[in-house]
């Protein structure tokens, strides 16, 4: 039980990941899909950030009397990943706008039915 | 300081810095010429690097002179130098073709933006191949992916938008999986440098975390390289993207995906772990065969030729993965060889379709009736490229297939060899359909004057076609490098 | 000239002719002259090789090395020389014939026709000169592809369907079976060179080698062994000169030639005789001989009947190759030659009948002998050659094949050969006999002779004489055939 609870950060990450994944798959609204994708990505960010934490460690700033630091590298890495995520979201939303212009809808089913007859 | 010493980083920096410069050139034609120049420069660098690797072995470059494993290391061995050559070579051939094709398919005010994206995409692909750092690889992967989503959405058909969107969703999921995998690996080893990872992983392979990381990475990469059944994004994306984009991505993007798979499975995890502990072999084997048969069969029933070739690409990726799944020297040679060979044939075929599209405004099979007489050079190129796809002797397709069946027979899996050969018969069927339509049917009634494609298009097409024939006869370069690369990956002598 | 150089030249001459033919497309006379000159040159080159090969020279050269240790190589030996001689000579004759036929019949796209014809001939030379199995395979496939436009020459729906069957069966069998067999051979023996005595002996258990042989025999679809024979009747939609040269000589003979090569130079007759699979395949060949003859009897279309007759006769060559004893191989090789002359004559005749009278069905040809005496006379002699009766060359090849079956102690196969000869009589001889002795039917009203175009007639006379010469002077042919495998 202790290990299950002790790994709570993983549980949160997995829960968020599955939520995001579900939204991406289940929702027909293109904007909602992107929201889902964001949740999915955030889950991974949390995973990274939490793994850099060293129990009892301080912020990674050199200071007198501090011997244990959290690992800063995952945080830096995830900063990059967040930027990538933002770019993806921006591009995705831009595409949704263009799709809305072209089809007059952002619902996947409507788009399909418009393309079918061709 | 010699310039040559910095060549590994220049391969990435030059196209990366060129991208914003290209944006400043508001004139489409200037942007094109600039991109062309950059691409040829990169090709020259890639050739030089390959020679360097062939002569002196691995080339390593510490970014910002931070030594590995702390700094990011750029690491070039036979595998990466070979793929680097493929990517930059295809780009150098595709771009001369792009001039006219892009001018017709992209609105004039967006042409320089188009080339900016193209350069970014090229940067990403080159970066993936050249980097020796797992996280850096993810970043480049996303650079290339984001720019290719945008490139695909530039197609004239509105379905290009939805195709691009779906690719974005699936591609991002794939990339995130890779990110998770890399994160888990870092958790276990505390390093991101590939060589360092390879050295530290054996001590911890028996943990669930490493196995999870492996699974995430393989699934994520499979999504990127469109391994059946994770290929669903590919057909639409290739069908509706601008011709140039299709040709470039079909010949390079999935190849780079296969490269990433090779890198992670063989260099980082090691063949022993992947194929014995995780029994990756049978999984890949079955998926590859399914890809070959399923996609080839679907291709037979396509009336849109770009879509037909897109499905054919899925099948051909099956061949590459099949070679990898044997995890033997011959098998891996076949897989790596097919990376190169398939880039040649698909590049040529998609370019030829681009020329058809340029003249006809469509690539529907029924509209190609009688085209054999009206665009003889383009159609002849399609026929030869198609024969290469089928694997007829004197073409590169034959060389790939020969090594694949040798690998299958060596492993004692002769039914697989038979299946590979049967699969190529399916390719014969869909190429045959195309040939019959173009040569045996009278042109459609509403006969506009259709002429041969301009020379600036024919030259790139035929460059690739002749390469198809040349490397089908003289294989000392391709087989030689592929074999050395395979030996390197497996850690055996060639 | 060194023999190697001559060999390379022989390979290039037809290829050089291609652009010249295309360049001269607006001037038919010049275009046909190019073909004739190329064909003469080629024949001369091949003939000049003959004495040296007979003296034991085996010129060899490597063209390229696509796989380490497995090159594309040429190497000349008696069987290849024999095939090259026949093919190049008959190309010359067929070119003469084509001029009359194609013009008389006002065919479309004649330039394309002559161009692909030349490519096909280059491929045939490649097959004949191939120094290892891989090289042979490469040229074999080139031959298939270059003849596809010839088979579908008419461009009609029927031609397109025929083209599908043609490519489907020939490429299909060669890619799935033959290529697999070659790769397997390479793994087992470490080489695919044609070596007297064979390379496969002792490399694997007999059962494996038997399977390999089966792959080879069925993989060579051009040998038209049942059940992979359908392409040949289908390909008869092609213009008659194509049927004549390619589907009586070059293509089908490339098939049986390949099987003979495999038998003699890859397996070696010592090994072949011990393989059980070889016996089973002999029965398949025997069944093909009989069944095809029976089907031929039921065909009213002349070209279709000749096509099935070809299938049956190819069975003879395959049978001889599989028997693999001395007489079998000699008979097999000689039959390649005698059948080539006989069958090409028959096709030529069918062609001129079509051009002169627009008749394709046998039942319409009664009484035609009075109108076309020379043609029908040639038909008679060529029929005798196919049947194996004097005074035509087929006699000798069938004789050696019969001895081959006796040497192997296969009385059943001997019986098959005999019955088949009777069937040959039944389906071939009535055609000239009815032409000469039956009352003219339908519109074959007597109105003087209207023989074939002059060029075509000359070709027919030459090949008919060939049938006779092979009977009276079989010596050189026999000598060449008996050197095979040495």
Q: Considering only alpha carbons, which residue of chain B is nearest residue A18? A: B173
Are C142 and B393 in contact (CB < 8 Å)? yes
CA C269 and chain centroid, separation:
23
Residue C25 has phi, psi (to 5 degrees) of -65, -25
A89 to chain B: which residues are within 8 Å by CB? none
C171 to chain B: which residues are within 8 Å by CB? 390, 392, 425, 428
CB B338 within 8 A of CB B332: no
Encode pLDDT of B384-438 as tens digits: 999 999 888 888 989 999 999 999 988 888 888 888 888 888 888 888 888 888 8
pLDDT at C452: 66
Partner-chain residue, chosen from A30, A48, A80, that has the shortest CB–CB distance to B165? A30
pLDDT at A1: 57
Partner-chain residue, chosen from A24, A48, A103, that has the shortest CB–CB distance to B158? A103
3-state secondary structure chain A: CHHHHHCHHHHHHHHHHHHHHHHHHHCCEHHHHHHHHHHHHHHHHHHHHHHHCCCCCECCCCCCCCCCECCCHHHHHHHHHHHHHHHHHHHHHHHHHHHHHHHCCCEHHHHHHHHCCC
Report whether pLDDT(C441) > 80. Answer: no
Q: Which of B421, B431, B435, B475 to mutate to test the interface with C (most CBs of C within 10 A)?
A: B421
Partner-chain residue, chosen from B149, B153, B169, that has the shortest CB–CB distance to A37? B169
Tokens of C391: 């005074």
If we measure between CA atoms, which residue out of C305, C304, C358, C341 comes closest to residue C459?
Answer: C341
Mean local confidence (pLDDT), B121-125: 93
pLDDT at A86: 92
Report whether pLDDT(B1) > 50. Answer: no
pTM: 0.89
Q: Considering only alpha carbons, which residue of chain A is nearest residue B149? A: A91
Contacts (Cβ under 8 Å, ≥6 apart) of C72 = B473, C62, C63, C64, C65, C66, C134, C135, C138
Q: Percent of chain C scored above 70 by pLDDT?
A: 96
Q: How confident is the model at residue B148 (pLDDT cuts 50, 70, 90)?
A: very high
Report whether pLDDT(C382) > 60. Answer: yes
pLDDT at B120: 93
Q: Considering only alpha carbons, which residue of chain C is nearest residue B425? A: C172
Are B409 and C145 in contact (CB < 8 Å)? no
B163 to chain A: which residues are within 8 Å by CB? none
Compute the nearest-CA separation of A11 from chain B (Å): 15
Are B479 and C67 in contact (CB < 8 Å)? yes
B16-30, B179-193, C21-35: lowest mean pLDDT where?
C21-35
Q: Considering only alpha carbons, which residue of chain A is nearest residue B136? A: A77
Partner-chain residue, chosen from A41, A51, A115, that has the shortest CB–CB distance to B183? A51
Residue B448 has phi, psi (to 5 degrees) of -80, 165
Report whether pLDDT(A64) > 90. Answer: no
Q: How confident is the model at residue B372 (pLDDT cuts 50, 70, 90)?
A: confident
Report whether pLDDT(B11) > 80. Answer: yes
Are A84 and B142 in contact (CB < 8 Å)? yes
CB-based touch A/C (3+ pairs, under 8 A): no
Encode pLDDT of C279-330 as tens digits: 888 888 899 989 988 888 888 888 888 888 888 888 888 988 888 888 888 8
B493 or C172, which is more confident: C172
Q: How confident is the model at residue C238 (pLDDT cuts 50, 70, 90)?
A: confident
Are C176 and B425 in contact (CB < 8 Å)? yes
Task: Establish, for the pair of chains A and B, how many residue pairs have beta carbons separated by less than 8 Å.
Answer: 69
pLDDT at B375: 85
Are C187 and B424 in contact (CB < 8 Å)? no
ipTM for the complex? 0.91
Tokens of C398: 């069938």
CB C320 within 8 A of CB C329: yes
* Chains touching C by CB (3 or more pairs below 8 Å): B
3-state secondary structure C321-352: HHHCCHHHHHHHHHHHHHHHHHHHHHHHHHHH
Chain A contacts to B (CB-CB under 8 A): 21, 24, 30, 33, 37, 40-41, 44, 47-48, 51, 73-74, 77, 80-81, 84, 87-88, 91-92, 95-96, 98-99, 102-103, 111, 115
User: What whole-number distance in Å separates Cα of residue C204 and Cα of residue C122?
Assistant: 36
Are B409 and C168 in contact (CB < 8 Å)? no
Compute the nearest-CA separation of B271 from chain C (Å): 24
Buried b (16+ CB within 10 A) or exposed e, B163-183: bbbbbbbbbbbbbbbbbbbbb
A74-78, B5-9, B10-14, C435-439: lowest mean pLDDT where?
C435-439
pLDDT at B168: 93
Q: Considering only alpha carbons, which residue of chain A is nearest residue B160? A: A99
Judge whether B139 is closer than 8 Å to chain A, CB to CB. Answer: yes
Report whether pLDDT(B87) > 90. Answer: yes
pLDDT at C450: 64
CB-based touch B/A (3+ pairs, under 8 A): yes
Domains along the sequence of chain A with CATH: 2-57+66-108 (1.10.287.3510)
Task: Establish, for the pair of chains B and C, how many residue pairs have beta carbons separated by less than 8 Å.
Answer: 72
Report whether pLDDT(C114) > 90. Answer: no
Compute the nearest-CA separation of B210 from chain A (Å): 15
Angle (deg, nearest 10), helices B414-440 and B305-326: 160
Q: How confident is the model at residue B270 (pLDDT cuts 50, 70, 90)?
A: confident
User: What whole-number distance in Å separates Cα of residue B339 and Cα of residue B324?
Assistant: 11
């Amino acid at each position: 039980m202790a290990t299950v609870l002790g790994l709570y950060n993983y549980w949160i990450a997995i829960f968020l990941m599955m939520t995001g994944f579900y939204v991406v798959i289940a929702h027909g609204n293109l904007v909602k899909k992107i929201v889902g994708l964001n949740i999915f990505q955030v889950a991974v960010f949390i995973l990274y950030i939490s793994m850099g934490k060293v129990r009892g460690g301080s912020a990674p700033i050199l200071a007198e009397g501090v011997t244990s630091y959290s690992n800063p590298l995952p945080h830096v890495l995830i900063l990059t990943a967040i930027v990538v995520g933002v770019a993806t979201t921006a591009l995705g939303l831009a595409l949704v706008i263009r799709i809305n212009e072209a089809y007059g809808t952002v619902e996947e089913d409507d788009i399909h039915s418009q393309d079918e007859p061709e | 300081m010699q310039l040559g010493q910095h060549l590994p980083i220049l391969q990435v920096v030059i196209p990366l810095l060129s991208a914003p410069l290209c944006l400043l050139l508001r004139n489409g034609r200037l942007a094109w010429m600039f991109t062309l120049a950059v691409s040829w420069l990169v090709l020259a660098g890639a050739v030089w690097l390959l020679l360097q690797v062939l002569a002196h072995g691995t080339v390593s470059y510490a970014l910002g002179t931070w030594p590995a494993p702390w700094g990011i290391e750029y690491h070039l061995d036979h595998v990466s130098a070979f793929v680097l050559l493929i990517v930059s070579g295809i780009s150098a051939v595709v771009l001369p073709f792009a001039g006219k094709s892009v001018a017709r398919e992209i609105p004039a005010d967006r042409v320089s933006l188009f080339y900016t994206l193209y350069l970014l995409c090229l940067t990403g692909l080159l970066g993936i191949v050249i980097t020796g750092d797992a996280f850096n690889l993810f970043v480049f992967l996303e650079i290339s992916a984001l720019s290719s989503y945008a490139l695909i959405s530039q197609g004239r058909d509105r379905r290009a938008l939805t195709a691009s969107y779906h690719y974005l969703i699936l591609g991002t999921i794939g990339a995130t999986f890779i990110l998770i995998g890399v994160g888990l690996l870092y958790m276990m080893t505390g390093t991101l440098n590939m060589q360092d990872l390879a050295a530290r992983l054996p001590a911890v392979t028996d943990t669930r975390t490493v196995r999870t990381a492996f699974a995430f990475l393989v699934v994520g990469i499979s999504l990127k390289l469109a391994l059946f059944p994770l290929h669903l994004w590919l057909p639409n994306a290739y069908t509706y993207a601008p011709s140039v984009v299709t040709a470039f991505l079909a010949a390079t993007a999935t190849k780079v995906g296969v490269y990433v798979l090779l890198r992670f499975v063989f260099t980082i995890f090691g063949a022993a772990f992947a194929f014995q502990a995780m029994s990756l072999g049978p999984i890949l084997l079955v998926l590859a065969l399914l890809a070959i048969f399923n996609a080839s069969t679907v291709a037979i029933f396509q009336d849109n030729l770009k879509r037909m070739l897109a499905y054919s690409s899925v099948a051909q990726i099956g061949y590459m993965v099949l070679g990898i799944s044997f995890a033997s020297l011959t098998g891996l040679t076949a897989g790596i060889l097919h990376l190169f060979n398939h880039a040649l044939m698909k590049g040529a075929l998609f370019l030829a379709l681009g020329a058809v599209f340029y003249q006809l405004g469509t690539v529907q099979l029924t509209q190609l009736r009688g085209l054999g007489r009206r665009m003889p050079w383009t159609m002849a190129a399609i026929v030869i490229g198609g024969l290469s796809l089928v694997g007829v002797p004197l073409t590169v397709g034959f060389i790939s297939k020969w090594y694949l069946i040798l690998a299958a027979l060596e492993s004692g899996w002769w039914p697989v060899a038979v299946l590979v050969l049967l699969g190529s018969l399916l390719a014969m069927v869909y190429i045959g359909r195309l040939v019959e339509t173009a040569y045996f049917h009278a042109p459609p009634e509403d006969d506009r004057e259709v002429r041969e494609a301009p020379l600036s298009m024919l030259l790139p097409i035929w460059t690739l076609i002749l390469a198809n024939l040349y490397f089908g006869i003289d294989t000392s370069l391709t087989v030689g490098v592929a074999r050395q690369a395979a030996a390197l990956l497996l850690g055996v002598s060639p | 000239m060194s023999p190697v150089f001559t060999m390379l030249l022989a390979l290039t001459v037809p290829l050089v002719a291609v652009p010249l033919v295309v360049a001269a497309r607006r001037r038919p006379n010049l275009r046909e002259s190019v073909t004739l000159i190329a064909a003469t040159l080629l024949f001369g080159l091949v003939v000049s090789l003959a004495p040296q090969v007979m003296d034991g020279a085996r010129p060899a050269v490597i063209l390229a090395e696509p796989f380490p240790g497995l090159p594309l190589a040429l190497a000349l030996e008696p069987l290849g020389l024999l095939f090259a001689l026949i093919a190049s000579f008959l190309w010359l004759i067929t070119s003469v014939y084509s001029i009359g036929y194609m013009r008389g019949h006002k065919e479309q796209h004649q330039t394309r026709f002559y161009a692909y014809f030349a490519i096909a001939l280059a491929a045939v030379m490649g097959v004949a000169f191939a120094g290892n199995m891989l090289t042979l395979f490469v040229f074999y496939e080139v031959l298939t592809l270059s003849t596809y436009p010839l088979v579908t020459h008419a461009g009609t729906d029927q031609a397109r369907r025929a083209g599908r069957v043609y490519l489907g069966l020939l490429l299909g069998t060669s890619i799935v079976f033959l290529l697999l067999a070659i790769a397997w051979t390479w793994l087992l023996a470490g080489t695919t060179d044609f070596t007297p005595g064979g390379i496969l002996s002792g490399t694997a258990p007999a059962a494996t080698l038997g399977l390999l042989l089966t792959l080879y025999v069925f993989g060579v679809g051009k040998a038209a062994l049942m059940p992979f024979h359908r392409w040949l009747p289908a390909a008869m939609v092609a213009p008659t000169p194509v049927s004549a040269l390619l589907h009586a000589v070059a293509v089908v003979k490339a098939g049986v030639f390949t099987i003979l090569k495999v038998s003699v130079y890859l397996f070696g007759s010592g090994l072949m005789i011990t393989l059980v699979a070889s016996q089973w395949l002999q029965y398949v060949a025997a069944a093909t001989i009989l069944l095809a003859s029976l089907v031929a009897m039921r065909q009213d279309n002349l070209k279709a009947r000749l096509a099935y007759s070809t299938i049956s006769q190819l069975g003879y060559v395959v049978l001889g190759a599989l028997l693999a004893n001395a007489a079998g191989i000699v008979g097999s090789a000689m039959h390649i030659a005698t059948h080539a002359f006989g069958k090409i004559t028959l096709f030529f005749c069918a062609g001129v009948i079509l051009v002169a009278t627009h008749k394709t069905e046998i039942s319409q040809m009664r009484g035609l002998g009075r109108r076309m005496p020379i043609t029908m006379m040639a038909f008679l002699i060529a029929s005798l050659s196919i049947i194996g009766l004097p005074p035509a060359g087929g006699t000798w090849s069938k004789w050696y094949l019969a001895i081959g079956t006796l040497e192997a102690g296969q009385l059943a196969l001997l019986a098959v050969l005999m019955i088949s000869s009777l069937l040959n009589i039944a389906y071939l001889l009535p055609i000239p006999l009815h032409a000469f002795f039956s009352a003219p039917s339908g519109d074959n009203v007597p109105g003087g002779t209207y023989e074939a175009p002059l060029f075509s007639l000359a070709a027919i006379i030459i090949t008919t004489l060939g049938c006779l010469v092979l009977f009276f002077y079989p010596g050189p042919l026999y000598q060449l055939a008996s050197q095979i495998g040495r």
